[in-house]
Amino acid sequence: MTTAPNAAPAPAPTAVPVIAIQGLHKAYGTLEVLKGVDVKAMPGQVISLIGSSGSGKSTLLRCCNLLEDSQQGEILFEGEAVRWRGAGLERHPADRAQVARIRTNLSMVFQNFNLWSHMTVLQNVMEAPVTVLKQDRATVEARARALLAKVGIGDKADVYPAQMSGGQQQRAAIARALCMEPRALLFDEPTSALDPELEQEVVRVIKALADEGRTMLIVTHDMRLAADVSDHVIFLHQGLIEEEGPPGTLFGAPKSQRLQQFLSASQ
């Protein structure tokens, strides 16, 4: 981590954000969860989202992945505006196809791994590239095995999720997300369900992905993870960005009182 000015390499002027969210509003019925949020993830950038429970972090991530409709605001994927003609099942078919295509480019990793329990680890990793992307099975299998080795569970290809530790299951879920060859990875509390010693093996994998220049949005309660891997940290409070900046500044010299309180409560 560094606080030196100009330490981060400036993105090329032509770079287009992988995800850009502008003025996003999201409500569930009368409950306003996001009240005008802007987020921009440049290629290779790692952004952490922190904030109290209920502040809207998961909702924001789900909006990025187009798992949620929003009421107002714009979402752009690599410069392409997401269209919202109609809602839910009434949505315009072309718009549904656009959402499906964009979603395959934004792989999500969840707190509780969400592996399919009736499939082996290898089958879990291969499933979406083969059935959704219609890729050649042998090609996908070679990629899946290489990814399992990369996350340190190359010997677990043929076991079922229940036969593995939580840390191993989460690494399998990360391999599954990577096997889609997404443009960005979205993590929702990837270490929250893990004991501290298992947490570290997942943190190491996430750090390695950051080092290889992956674009990532990480919702986390782990301030050390946020400080170690992020280029940019966003503190959400009641559906608004209360403060944001590089981790050295945000954690080292928080300006807002709410962030100061949140950080002292998170220690």
The site for ligand ADP (CB under 6 A) is made up of 28, 31, 33, 51, 53-59
- Residue 206 CB, shortest distance to ligand ADP, in Å, is 18
Of positions 48, 58, 168, 169, contacts Mg ion by CB under 5 A: 58
* Surface-to-core class of residue 238, CB atoms within 10 Å of its CB (0-12 exposed, 13-18 middle, 19+ buried): middle
- 215 touching Mg ion, by CB under 5 A: no
C-beta closer to Mg ion: residue 17 or 56: 56
Stated as kind and residue range, the H or E segment containing 248 is helix 247-252
Pairing of strands 232-237, 240-245: antiparallel
Q: Which stretch binds Mg ion (CB under 5 A): 4-12, 20-28, 31-39, 52-60?
A: 52-60
**CB distance 206 to 228 below 8 Å:** no
Instruction: Tell whether residue 98 is a contact of Mg ion (CB under 5 A).
Output: no
Which of Mg ion, ligand ADP, none does residue 143 bind to, with CB < 5 to 8 Å depending on kind? none
- Chain centroid to CA 199: how far? 17
The yes or no reply on residue 230 touching Mg ion (CB under 5 A) is no
Q: Which is nearer to ligand ADP, 60 or 151 (CB)?
A: 60
Name the binder of 33 from Mg ion, ligand ADP, none, CB < 5-8 A by kind: ligand ADP
Least CB distance to Mg ion at residue 58 (A): 3
Interaction of residue 59 with Mg ion, rule CB under 5 A: no
Helix axes 166-179, 137-150, angle to 10 degrees: 140
State the binding partner of 148 from Mg ion, ligand ADP, none, CB within 5 to 8 A by kind.
none
Q: What are phi and psi of 19, to 5 degrees?
A: -130, 135
Nearest-approach distance from CB 130 to ligand ADP, in angstroms: 30
> Does residue 161 sit in helix, strand or coil?
helix
Residue closer to ligand ADP by CB (options 123, 191) is 191
What ranges make up the beta strands (E) of the chain?
19-28, 31-41, 46-50, 72-77, 80-81, 106-109, 184-188, 216-219, 232-237, 240-245
Question: Which residues contact Mg ion (rule: CB under 5 A)?
Answer: 58
